[in-house]
Structure 1
Amino acid sequence: MARGISGGQAKRCNIGIALLSDPRIIFLDEPTSGLDSYTSHEVMELVMALTKTHNSITVCATIHSPSPQTFNLFDKVIILLRGRIVYFGDNGD
């Protein structure tokens, strides 16, 4: 019986592939969609750990309805309402 990889493993693998070219910025379009809350948080913890160890990487990600724990991983946030920016700034302000 052939077994593939999980959704979380696939997301982490794709992020790893993107990092091979040593980019200065990475755009992640809904990197946690289709994942359970635990795996979503795990993927975003990995992404944030990469930004801490490689200070030259900026990550821009779109995430719908993150858990409070995942939301708190971000340094800066943009919150949109009906396509308009209602907040842009440091997380926690």
Structure 2
Amino acid sequence: MMPEIPFEQFRVGSQFFMLTRRHALLGIRDCKLWQKFRLPCLKTESCYPEEHYFPTLLSMEDLKGCSHFMLTRVNWTGSTGGHSHTYRPTEVSPELIYKL
């Protein structure tokens, strides 16, 4: 991603994110960074550029306007292929919700 995206400004994100109108406009107007994110990945089995694009763009354009945490809880136990654990109906209970 260098030189357009310095290593210290690259951010790892998730498929869940929320944007302000101002941040959405940054994404629409961006012509430079997306060109890097749409390039073919070196390792296709673990490549999720769309999950990292917005966090990286915002870290470069509006670092103070970003939260550095997620409001989701993900269980990576037994994950395969980059996908988190999917809870089945029998696993969901008040106790599970309380633990989250």
Q: Which has the higher helix share?
A: 2
Q: TM-score, normalised by structure 2?
A: 0.25
Report which of the two structures shows the higher radius of gyration computed on alpha carbons.
2
Greater strand share, structure number: 1
**Greater RCO, CA 8 A, separation 6+:** 2
